[in-house]
Every structure is written in C-alpha cells, then in structure tokens.
Structure 1
Amino acid sequence: MKNIIRLFQFYFFWLFLSVSFAQEGKDNQLVYPKISKEPAIEIHYGIKIIDEYSNLNKLEDSVVKEWFKAQDSLAESYFAANDIMKNYLERLRKLQNNAESSVSMIRINEAGNYFYLKYDDSLGYEKLFFRENLADNEKELYNPFQYGGENLSITYLKPSFDGKKIAIGFNENGGFSSKVLIYDLEKKKVLEDVITKINPDFGGIEWLPDSSGFIYLYFPEVDKTQPEYKKNSFSVIHKLGKNPESRIPIFQTNEDLLISEDFYPKVKIGSSLDKHIIGYVASSDDYYDSYIATISDVLQGKPDWKPFFKKEDAIFYDQGEVRGGDFIFRQGNLKGNLLGKVSIKNPDFNNPIILAEGSTDNPIIKFEVTKSNIYYARSLYGSNVSLYVLNSSNEIQQLQPPFDPGYATFFGGSIMHNNIGVGLDGWTTDYTRYLIHKDGSFSREVLSPLLTYPEFENIITEQIMITSHDGVEVPLSLVYKQGMERNSANEVFIYVYGAYGESMSPFFSPIFLDWAEQGGVLAFPHVRGGGEKGKEWHEQGMKNLKYNSWKDLIACTEALINLNLTEAGLISLYTSSAGGITAGMAVNERPDLFSSFIAEVPRLNPLGLESSSTASSTSYLEYGTVKDSTEFTGLLKMDPYLNIRSQMLYPAVLVMPSYNDDRIPLWDSGKYIAKLQNSNHTNNPVLMDINYQNGHESVGDYDESVQLYSKIFSFAKSNMKH
C-alpha cells in the first residue's frame, strides 16, 4: 500500500509541475494559487484607500495559511526544475566551503581575552573557543550539542569585563525572542541563570563593571500574535545566582520618565572603570533622548536618572563613550558631523570641545576610544574609508592601512589600555582583521587563516557619479571583470537599499563576485535614504522625500544603459528589508528597465503596516505616520503594493519573506504577490518563496545561505532577456 501511495505522490508531483509551468528557455507559464479578494476601504483626509487583499492579514485563517503554503510550493517547484539553479548550487557550495574553516563572532574583553566561534565541518555547527591572549593556545569552551541544546546555532556572545564569564545567546525557533546562558570559565560549566524574553538586536547584555551581573532589555510580550508584542520593554538588572524571573527594573517609563510604549529604554556601560551609566530611549532614528545615572545607584536598584542629551542635540546613538569625567561622542550637523567632548558634570552639547570634523561627502562614520587615543574613520561616498588617530595632545595622524578599504570597524578598544584593532573590507578584498600598533603600523591578527580566491584576481571596481532627476549627483559603485567590453550585452545585478541612514558599504562576498567572474556587472547605487553623504543624505530619502530613493535608482539604472554597459532586459534588481520600498517603487514606475525584481524579507506595504492596530515598530520615524496628513501622503506615494498598476508588463518577480519575521509581517509580501499575479500581463514568473524557519535577519547555516543565494542568482540569470 505504501508503494502505491508513493507512486501516486510521485505522479501527482510531476503532474503538478507540468500543469503549473512549462519551462522552455525563459518563458514561464504558471498557474497561481487563487485567493479571493476581500477589499477593505479606509478614508484618510478625504482620500479613499482600497486594500484589495485585506483578508491576507488573517494569517491564522486556514484558507490564508493554505494559500501561502501553495505559493511557497509553487516557488520550490520552480527552482527544483531549474537547471541554472542546480549549477549555482554546485558552484556556490565550492565557494562557501572555502570560507567554512574561518572563525566568526570574535569578541575581545578588557583583559585581552579572545572568545570566538569556529565551524566544525564534521559536526555541521559552530563551537565556542577561548584564548587568554592572541599568542595563547585555543581552548574549547562550549559545545552546544554536549550541553543538550536543541538549538545548535549560537547567535550572540558577550564576555564580562574580567573575562571570567561569557553570555551565550540562542535564537528561539527563528522568532523574536532569544535565550541567553552564562558560561563560567572558572567553574567550567553553564550557570543556572537562563535569561529569556531578550532580543540582542534591540539590546543585549551590558555587564556590570565588577562582572557580578548585567543589565538587559526585557520584553514582557514576545508573542507576535498579541497586541502588546514588543511594546513596553524596560531594562532590568540581574545579579548572577539570583532568580532570573526576579527582574529588577532600573530604566523604564514612569511618572518621571515618559517613554513611548514603542520605544526601547536600554543602557550602555563602556568599561569596568565607568562610574556612570547612560540610558537611551532607543528607536529606529539615528538620534535618541538619553539620561545618565551613577552605577552605585543602579546597583542598589534605585537609579536617579538625570536628563543628558536630547534628540535635538543630534548625538549618534551608538557613538558615545565615557572616559573619566568626560563623554566623547559623534554629533551630526549640516556639514557632515564631528567628534566632540563634554564634561559629564556640566555637559553643554551646543558648545562641545571639537576633537575632529567630517564633511558632507566624507563624514566621520565611527570611532573608538582607548586609554590615550581616539581612533576614527571617515568614508568618502560610503565606499572609500580613511583612518585616523587623535592622540592625547590632540594631534591627528592619518593612518596607512595595508590596502585601501571600503569598510572598516574597530575592535578591542578600551579605556583600560591602548590596544586596538580594525577589520577592513572591500568589494574585491576579503575582510581581514589587523592590529594597530603604537607607531601607526598594522599587522594581521593571525586568529584565522587568510583565505585566497585566485578566481577573482581580475575583478576590478570603480565609482562614478550619476545625475539624478533633480540634478543631485548619486554615487554608483561598479564591480566587473577587467577587460569587459562595453557593448550593451552585459548582464547586470543591482543591489540597492537606501533607508535608515545605512550606507551600502563595500563588502567582500565570493557569492556576489561569482556574478562578475562570469562576465556580469555588479552595481550598487548609493541612493538617498542611506548615509553615504551623512545625515542630510538620509533625510533626503525619508518620509515625503522618499521618492528621491527610487528616482535615484532609476537614474542609476538608466545611466548603465546610456553608458553602453547593458540594455533593458538584462538588468536584475535585488534588495532586502526596507529596500523593498526603493526597489518596489522603481519597478512600479519603470518596469521596462528590469528583467527581474528579487526582494528578500521586503517591506512592500508600508502604509498598511503603519496603519495596522498591531504595529509594534518605530518605523514611522523613517517613513511617516497616518496620523499626520502630510506624512500620510508620503506613505501612500511610497507604497509598492498600493501603487501596482493593472495592465502593466512587469518583470519577473521573486519575493522571499520569512514566516517568523518580527518586523515585517507575512501579509506584507502576500498582498503584493497576490495583486501582482492578477495585474501582470506577461509570462514572467511572479513567485513567493517563504522561509518558514528563520526570522528577519537570520539566514541560517552555510547550506541555507548557499540555497538562498542560489535561488536569488539563478532567478536573475534565468530571466535575462537577450
């Protein structure tokens, strides 16, 4: 009987494939799963909004669930029959295997102890290792399997200041909440303290100066189906050995501190010498309101929070350090930004001591404080990084790194000593960590082998400036093989973002470079909404000015054609998360430019999310709110779902949402796909491939990463129209 069932299943599977699509070359004829329309009408400020697929909001409805599963099955069937996908799987596995031996998540505490993960090929997961210092032999600290962990993937590490304990985090079932364990290096065991209802992306472990415990951001509700999901969070103190359920609130909304339920009151402790603790009212903005209290009061569970800097002072939230009686910070301004210093006792953020300044095109992007020096980085148009050191005599020296980086991040700095390192990356140069010495020289941190990729030696980069719709120049980074002919027959893969002030900084990815090695062009438009030209560049792509983001993208795409690098039909567009607005609206306005549109965990219905009664996000600070008539208009204009036009010839579309996404609900992508499948008048595939395991930012293990990008690049390749 089982054999008969298997035979029937096999026959039905191939019958489904033959009915669903016939793949001849690049023509796809798909029969999409059907879902009825249940239009909902909302009227805002006299404007009628029709949400044609409002029923897809009911994610627990059995009919809706089955529709999503059918969409996912259709996408999986499409890729199962795609020979180009099989070729990518084979090629990308080889590239990825070359990187599996490297260490990851390296953490260095004040004492110079090293904690890091190392992938075990035979076991298929990462284990935690320790070195007392860089020259010491490594010791295995923690094997998730030996401790009976159901989840073998470590997602967070934070050592104590003295290096005697380390917090180890695991994401729970791909959802919002994580679980954090504490490993005691002296006792060589995991302590009984288990922290739950924490999300390290929003606020991780902040060890107390004496390492006796820590502070973390606690979320009372982590079930995304509940109306209080992610709301009313507060910082709590936990002393090791105490009951983790006996949480002592130390920074939260109350009669003195009026904090919005959607904001995140978290804290920062920079070193074991700190006498003060900074409390931040965090949101999706670059600037926060902050408060300050003494560590001694916090330890007693009775902190006296005093106002410190305000949002209007334009202090970048993650760029402030306490050193003695001073607070050193990065501050935004119209000319770029600056490094400044104020006295903690009498802070005057309007008239700080200016330590260093950036410019609009070449802003300061980050800094690190050591015992005697301040190291900082500037980034020209988001792609060319320069490094500097400011010594105790306020003398600035530009450093000369081993290569010209496109991205840099400092590590190992502390006000306890003058040791520091920097990780450097670029479009064609692999991420490498270097130690910076007293004389300004660099040496490689030999913790992991230096990987080589001879197949990419002939790949080169250039950055050009493109004039956008309003005359503003937009940087465009290109990566391609040396000697490539400019004959309009080149296949282009565009990756765009343009939101939250995040720059499209250069990154080394063998998976991406494979496209250029095959003869294609990688293009990275640095559109407004990002941070490539400082805070003003971000603001010009926010709220009612969001249209600049997709018009910059359209201008860059047209420039690729005008420069005879490619032609319409040979341009694939890829994005993720908030980039869905930029890319989705570019496709809506100029569908003729693109051969395919691929979006991973995208935001495609921002107005729907901002008007949702269950919204638990501060994204309205970036896009606008329906509670303001002007911002509502901007939301409506930037909504890819609501602006899909019927009878249009749309390119091939692949949307890849995550079921456990804590920021963008599944219905956001579902509505867009349902409407587009009924509006598109071509044979181009319109697919939704759902990740049912991971969340918004978690890709999974090495094999899952290969699977993901094999789908992305094979879809782009399959739908080129020469």
Structure 2
Amino acid sequence: MKKYIKYFLFYSLCFFLSVSFAQEGKSNHLVYPQILKKPTSEIHYGIKVLDEYSNLNKLEDSSVKNWFKAQDSLAEKYFATNDLMKEYLEKFKKYQNNAQSSLSMVRISENGNYFYLKYDDSLGYEKLFFRENLADKEKELFDPSQYNSGNPSITYLNPSFDGKKIAIGFNDNGSFSSTILIYDLETNQILREVITNINPDFGGIEWLPDNSGFIYLFFPEVDNSQPGYKKNSFSVIYKLGENPEDRKPIFQSHYDLHISEDFYPKVKIGSSLDNYIIGYIASSDDYYDSYIATISDVLQGKPDWKPFFKKEDAIFYDQGEVRGDKFIFRQGNLNGNLLGKVSIENPDFTNPAVLAEGSKENPIIKFEVTKDNIYFARSLYGANVSLYVLNSSNKIRQLQPPFDPGYATFFGESVKHNNVGVGMDGWTSDYTRYLINEDGSFSREALSPLLAYPEFENIITEQIMVTSHDGVEVPLSLVYKEGLEKKSANEVFMYVYGAYGESLSPFFSPMFLDWAAQGGILAFPHVRGGGEKGKEWHKQGMKNLKFNSWKDLIACTEALINLNFTEPGLISLYTSSAGGITAGMAVNERPDLFSSFIADVPRLNPFGLESSSTASSTSYLEYGTVKDSTEFSGLVKMDPYLNIRSKMAYPAVLVMPSYNDDRIPLWDSGKYIAKLQNSNQTNNPVLLDIDYQNGHETAGDYDESVRLYSKIFSFAKSNMKR
C-alpha cells in the first residue's frame, strides 16, 4: 500500500533537516523541519475559527512542497534506523510469501465463467486467468505488462453477463481517474475501446443485459487542480464498436431531474433478465433518491426516468434487486431493518411485503437473490454473522456454515439460476469461499489451496460490552492468546473507525494476528458512527453527535485498564480515513491513555475541507456543513487539528497521508502534524510519512503492504511506555 520517494530526494533535502537520533530508552529525539505560521481566521455565526497553518493549503508553493518532502524524509530516516522495523519486515515477508499463492479479485459471470488474478512470483505482478467453469482447467488470459509495462497492476475486473468479454481497469500513480480496457475472449485480444474519466470506486461498468455494451459514470473533470474536479458527473451508455469519445448521456441532471453537482447519478443492472434499470442519485449517505426506466428505452437511448423510492423511504441503495415485475430491497427502520418486496408498477415503500426482519443488535447486513431463493445475513454487534435462506414459499431456514464467521459476502448469484456462494472469515479464521448447495449444505470452492497458519491456532476472541459516557453499551472485540493473564503489563494494539455506518467487521490478517501471537492484545471498539447496531448507531455518531464516537473509544480504552487487561502507556491506537476524527479527538481529550497514535490516509481537519470553496465531496452529509449554524458548531468540536492543545504531553504520532488522495488533501494531515510538533511537550516522535505514489484507496503490491504494516507495528511496539 505504500511506495516511497527515491533516495535522491532525501539527499537533495538534507538542508531542511537537522536530525539527531540520540538514544534515551526507546525514544528518538528529533528536530523537525520548520515552516512559518501564516494564520488566517474565518468568522461564522459570530464565532472565530483560527487556522494557524493555512499556508500549507498552497501545495504548489515551493516552500510548502519542500517542507512536506523534508517531513517525509525525516520519517524515512526514522524507520531506516529502527531495528524493530527490520525484524517486522523479515517476519511479514514470510506471511507475504504464503499469501502470494492465493488468488485475488475473483469474478464470476452469470454463465459461471471464472476470472481472477494470480500472482507470478518470477515477474512480481498478477496476471489475469480464466476458467470456463469451476471444474475446468485454468488458462492465462491477459498479461497486464502488454498494456502497461511500467505499472502492470490490474485494479478492476468486471465480466459481461455471458462471460465473453471482461472490463479490465488500471490506475496509474493513485490518480482519481482509471483506464478501462475491454478484453474479447472470442478473439483473444483487447478491443480498441479505451474508457477514461471513470472511477470504479464511485461507479464502475454496468453491462447491458444483451452484452452489447455498458453504462458507466463519467467525470468531465478529473484534474484535482481544477474547480470542476469530480463535479457534474453523469452516466453514459456505450455500445461496443462506437467511438468512446462520443459519450451519450443516459442519466444526468436536466430540466426536470435536478441533481446537485456534487452527487453522482449512477445506475445498477443486476441480471441479463432484468427488464428495468434503477438510477441512483448517489452520495456519501446510505439512502438515495432513485428513478426507474425500462431497459428497452435505455437501449434506444431514450429512457423515461420515473421517480421510484425516495431518500426518506430508507432503502439501502446497494441492496435492491429486480425480480421480474417485483423489486426486493433492504430497508432501515427504527427497530433495525427489514427485507421487503414491492410491485415495480405500483410500489408502496411505506407498506411493503415483509420478507424478513433484523433488529438493532442483529441487523440484516446484506442479501442476494437467485432464481428461487433469497439468501441473507445478519450480524450480531457487527462481529458474529448468521446466514439464512428464504425459499419461494417464504419459509426462512438458518444455514449452518463450516465455522462461525465474523464476516460474510455472497458471490456468483443471479435471478437466472440458483447458484450462489459465500466468502467468510473472522478474526482468527482465514477467508474461505464456499458454494451453498440446494440442500443448504456447504462445499469449499477449492479454487485455491487453503493456507495454514499453525502459529495462530491458540488465538481466541471474545466480545465484551462497555458502558460509555451516557450509559449506552458499546461492543468491544478482543483477540489474544489463549491463557492470557489479565495483568497490567499486556501491550494493546487498538483499531477504530466509526463513520459512514460501516461496521468494523472481523477480518483475518496474519500481520495483525502476529501481535496476539507475541502475547499482546488486539482490540476493536465498535463505536457509534459505525453500523454495528443498525442505522441508529450510525446516526448517533454523525454531525453534532460525533462526540459519541470518541467518547465510546475513550470508554473502551478505560475499560481495558479497569479490567486489568493493560495500563496507560501500553495502548497503541491505529485508524484510517474517516476514523481519523474519532481517534484524533480521543487523543486530544485523553492523550495520557495512549502510547502512540497511528493514522493512515486520515481525516484530521474536517472543518477545513467543509469550509473550502473548492471542496468536491458529499462528506458534509456525514460531518455537517458550515452553512448550518448547528452543524458548524459540531464541525469545529470534532476537528482534531483545531482542537490540539498547546503545551500538552501527547503520545508518539505517525500520520501517513497519500499525495494523490482524491478525498482527503495532503494539507489536512500536514496542518495537524505542524501544529502538533509545535505543541507537544514530550520527546515522543511526531512523524509525517507520505505516500507519493498511491491514492486514498489504491493499493500497491505485496511488498508495499508488508512495508506499510512493518512501519505501523514497529512504531507501535517501539513507543510502548514501560
């Protein structure tokens, strides 16, 4: 996940650095690159907000560029002299070599054709392979170096329904826009089509039911230096063989369909049998306004979009499927959520036919539709998944998978047939794919060999409930070695998120589990802002209620100390992306609790982004906007950068932003680090380690992932305060 600037950059920037590594216990004494403060202030509703390092917003300024490069070089030298970093690199490379035998990005066409990436150890990158069906022999389909020898990394795959063509995506240097090629299996060649100005994270290829082409979300401006960046996107229909530059809008803002310039009008087509297409007005929210049109009108380029469900109907946008003249969906409500069904011609979303229900504690998290059945999953407190099948007689039966999963996702489903599979893993169970048979039994897909990790066989998990500041119970998942003594000397590595209604679901990671295998504790607080207790749990950690997220985190940390699992100074806090607000504010309020704070591509200055005139994001739906007096107040209170306190003893801090991040600008992390380096009253390191190659969600190769987590865990371990 991390690529780093060339060594010559360090030498060219040495005059910006004055670094001494004087050992005193485990602490490194650092002298940080300096940059002058150029404070500016904004006044909203009579309240002044001071931005001490507003000059860091000017990323093209040479002095600002050099300051960022000097900060990054300082971080690189810190890790180059860290012996623990070297130990973790050697250890994690062994896990890497084990994992390289597995497949990635497995895609199954409606006809049962398998497409997947497979690592070639001799070349150091993944190639695209194909099987006509699961029992068939694999064959190499495409070597990405034929297209891009400099960066042969495939980042997106999507086969057509008939499996005769597949869309292949590339992303260079973490840029916002990807490039999509179309491979034709009948001619065994790449077609001349090259699709640009597309970002699969926002809206990928939606194949037309007749496989003649596809619909995708087009971004007119993908240059982040331009004012129209990411704005005014629209869906276009493309027929194979046509000129890709001749874009035909199919779903966009017009005289009777008003769409905000920051929203994304995209579509969904679920099956080759679908007679309808659903259009969504997408944002960062869970619920969207939607429209519906017939496929026949779309194919003629003249869709008649009619209103379908509204945002207030609380339909989860990514959980709706057409089945003939019916629409099956997942809907939120005050008690949890439900699976419902309505007639497409006369939909009544206020009174649907209820197929199944979930509760606040055990909500339905996903479902898929096959020809005769509906498969769905519930998740108890975000960490214990149960699976069910609903047959054509509306009878529900709980399935018994081979192990108790913490996470599950369905694959290979379609209303055209009854085939379906499920991939499952957990804190201590490796991700494994199974086929669900007609009788409800499970058989392993056996596409790749099972990996063995005997060193983790004695690792166990438990989930406890912690009472937060307002009496609400917060789930806290713990992972540790069997027989662990509850003593204050245990070292804890804690990961938190708590935003956008995303549950912190269990995941299997040898690099994380190694912490537990060495005698430490992994802790995962399921704080408000996530989805562990349904939509209401999310709302209780949004906007002006965001404080619940970091108050929950503090409560969980204190509980570990009170229960004698650990003590202050032995707890390393890790987060990523939007979790930066939750973790950053917890560190601001209770810096004494944590030995270190580590954040990957974090959001640390939400007020700065939401008040920026050039912002192109719908994140205000999650955090709030300066255009509303109440939400403005919440934004200021949740901002880790603005709320850094001077002359405080802060823990060791490692912030790792990405230069090409399309969602969180580099200055967000830069301002936080600059202020903290000048406010911290300890010798604990405060480092800014910049990824100059990738973006917010774009990842590098295996080696980069190993290097990233070697940095994270060595930093956590090095800064424990015994």
- Counterpart contact for 2:16–2:33, Cα < 8 Å: no
SS of 1:538 mapped into structure 2:
helix
1:487 deviates by 1.1
**What is the one-letter code of the residue matched to 2:593?**
L
**What is the one-letter code of the residue matched to 1:52?**
E
Q: Find out whether 1:33 has 2:50 as its counterpart.
A: no
Q: Aligned partners of 2:539, 2:352: CA distance in 1, in Å?
A: 24
Q: Aligned partners of 2:9, 2:190: CA distance in 1, in Å?
A: 47
- Counterpart contact for 1:17–1:77, Cα < 8 Å: no
Structure 1, residues 217-254: CA drift from partner, whole Å, max 9, x if none?
A: 00000001111100000000111011000000000000
Q: Do the aligned partners of residues 54 and 374 (structure 1) sit closer, same or farther apart at CA in structure 2, a change above 3 Å counting?
A: same
- Matching of residues 201-212 of structure 1 within 5 Å: 201-212=201-212
Partner of 2:690: 690
Partner of 1:216: 216
- Counterpart contact for 2:18–2:32, Cα < 8 Å: no
Partner of 1:364: 364
- Matching of residues 241-280 of structure 1 within 5 Å: 241-280=241-280
Q: Do the aligned partners of residues 151 and 593 (structure 1) sit closer, same or farther apart at CA in structure 2, a change above 3 Å counting?
A: same
Partner of 1:153: 153
SS of 1:145 mapped into structure 2:
helix
SS of 1:479 mapped into structure 2:
strand
Q: Aligned partners of 2:20, 2:669: CA distance in 1, in Å?
A: 21
Greater relative contact order, per chain length (Cα 8 Å cut-off, separation 6+): 2
Q: Aligned partners of 2:417, 2:568: CA distance in 1, in Å?
A: 56
Q: Aligned partners of 1:699, 1:580: CA distance in 2, in Å?
A: 19
SS of 2:703 mapped into structure 1:
helix
- Counterpart contact for 2:203–2:217, Cα < 8 Å: yes
Q: Aligned partners of 1:209, 1:13: CA distance in 2, in Å?
A: 56
Structure 1, residues 92-120: CA drift from partner, whole Å, max 9, x if none?
A: 11111110110000001110000000011
Partner of 2:495: 495
Structure 1, residues 110-163: CA drift from partner, whole Å, max 9, x if none?
A: 100000000111100000001010000001110011345433000000000010
Q: Do the aligned partners of residues 16 and 309 (structure 1) sit closer, same or farther apart at CA in structure 2, a change above 3 Å counting?
A: closer
Partner of 2:185: 185
- Matching of residues 55-454 of structure 1 within 5 Å: 55-454=55-454
Q: Aligned partners of 2:10, 2:626: CA distance in 1, in Å?
A: 50
The more displaced of 332-341 and 292-301 is 292-301
**What is the one-letter code of the residue matched to 1:456?**
F
Q: Aligned partners of 1:671, 1:278: CA distance in 2, in Å?
A: 42
Q: Aligned partners of 2:42, 2:146: CA distance in 1, in Å?
A: 55
Structure 1, residues 289-312: CA drift from partner, whole Å, max 9, x if none?
A: 000001111111111100000000
**What is the one-letter code of the residue matched to 1:416?**
K
Q: Find out whether 1:23 has 2:23 as its counterpart.
A: yes
- Counterpart contact for 2:16–2:67, Cα < 8 Å: no
**What is the one-letter code of the residue matched to 1:110?**
E
**What is the one-letter code of the residue matched to 2:272?**
S
The RMSD of aligned alpha carbons is 1.4
**Alignment TM-score, normalising by the size of structure 2:** 0.98
Q: Aligned partners of 1:661, 1:10: CA distance in 2, in Å?
A: 22
Partner of 1:607: 607
- Counterpart contact for 1:570–1:595, Cα < 8 Å: yes
1:20 deviates by 3.2
Partner of 1:648: 648
- Counterpart contact for 2:10–2:73, Cα < 8 Å: no
Partner of 2:592: 592
1:21 deviates by 2.7
Q: Aligned partners of 2:704, 2:567: CA distance in 1, in Å?
A: 33
Large movers: runs of 4+ above 4 Å = 8-18
Q: Aligned partners of 1:291, 1:18: CA distance in 2, in Å?
A: 60
**What is the one-letter code of the residue matched to 1:265?**
P
> Which runs of 5 or more structure 2 residues have no equivalent in the other structure?
1-7
SS of 1:89 mapped into structure 2:
helix
User: How many pairs were matched up?
Assistant: 715
Partner of 1:628: 628
- Counterpart contact for 2:18–2:31, Cα < 8 Å: no
Q: Do the aligned partners of residues 247 and 9 (structure 1) sit closer, same or farther apart at CA in structure 2, a change above 3 Å counting?
A: closer
SS of 1:85 mapped into structure 2:
helix
Q: Do the aligned partners of residues 441 and 586 (structure 1) sit closer, same or farther apart at CA in structure 2, a change above 3 Å counting?
A: same
SS of 2:672 mapped into structure 1:
helix
1:706 deviates by 0.4
**What is the one-letter code of the residue matched to 1:144?**
P
1:15 deviates by 11
1:699 deviates by 2.7
Q: Aligned partners of 1:295, 1:699: CA distance in 2, in Å?
A: 36
Q: Aligned partners of 1:47, 1:278: CA distance in 2, in Å?
A: 44
1:266 deviates by 0.1
1:485 deviates by 1.2
Structure 1, residues 26-45: CA drift from partner, whole Å, max 9, x if none?
A: 12211100000000110000
**What is the one-letter code of the residue matched to 1:525?**
P
- Counterpart contact for 1:131–1:137, Cα < 8 Å: yes
SS of 1:173 mapped into structure 2:
coil
- Counterpart contact for 2:370–2:418, Cα < 8 Å: yes
Q: Aligned partners of 2:344, 2:135: CA distance in 1, in Å?
A: 38
**What is the one-letter code of the residue matched to 1:644?**
I
Q: Do the aligned partners of residues 303 and 11 (structure 1) sit closer, same or farther apart at CA in structure 2, a change above 3 Å counting?
A: closer
- Counterpart contact for 2:13–2:66, Cα < 8 Å: no
Q: Find out whether 1:661 has 2:652 as its counterpart.
A: no
- Counterpart contact for 1:20–1:32, Cα < 8 Å: no
1:19 deviates by 3.5
Structure 1, residues 27-76: CA drift from partner, whole Å, max 9, x if none?
A: 22111000000001100000000000000000000000000000000000
- Counterpart contact for 2:366–2:378, Cα < 8 Å: yes
Q: Aligned partners of 1:648, 1:548: CA distance in 2, in Å?
A: 23
The more displaced of 147-156 and 96-105 is 147-156
**What is the one-letter code of the residue matched to 1:678?**
N
Q: Do the aligned partners of residues 333 and 11 (structure 1) sit closer, same or farther apart at CA in structure 2, a change above 3 Å counting?
A: closer
Partner of 2:566: 566
- Counterpart contact for 2:109–2:163, Cα < 8 Å: yes
Q: Aligned partners of 2:143, 2:239: CA distance in 1, in Å?
A: 25
**What is the one-letter code of the residue matched to 1:661?**
D
Q: Aligned partners of 1:599, 1:346: CA distance in 2, in Å?
A: 49
- Counterpart contact for 2:576–2:602, Cα < 8 Å: yes
Q: Aligned partners of 1:147, 1:583: CA distance in 2, in Å?
A: 41
- Matching of residues 546-585 of structure 1 within 5 Å: 546-585=546-585
1:172 deviates by 2.5
Q: Aligned partners of 1:710, 1:642: CA distance in 2, in Å?
A: 30
**What is the one-letter code of the residue matched to 1:494?**
M
Q: Aligned partners of 2:226, 2:375: CA distance in 1, in Å?
A: 45
1:691 deviates by 0.2
Structure 1, residues 691-711: CA drift from partner, whole Å, max 9, x if none?
A: 000000123100000000000
Partner of 1:525: 525
Q: Aligned partners of 1:379, 1:554: CA distance in 2, in Å?
A: 24
Partner of 1:5: none
SS of 1:372 mapped into structure 2:
coil
Q: Aligned partners of 2:11, 2:677: CA distance in 1, in Å?
A: 27
Q: Do the aligned partners of residues 202 and 454 (structure 1) sit closer, same or farther apart at CA in structure 2, a change above 3 Å counting?
A: same
Partner of 1:542: 542
Q: Aligned partners of 2:253, 2:464: CA distance in 1, in Å?
A: 48
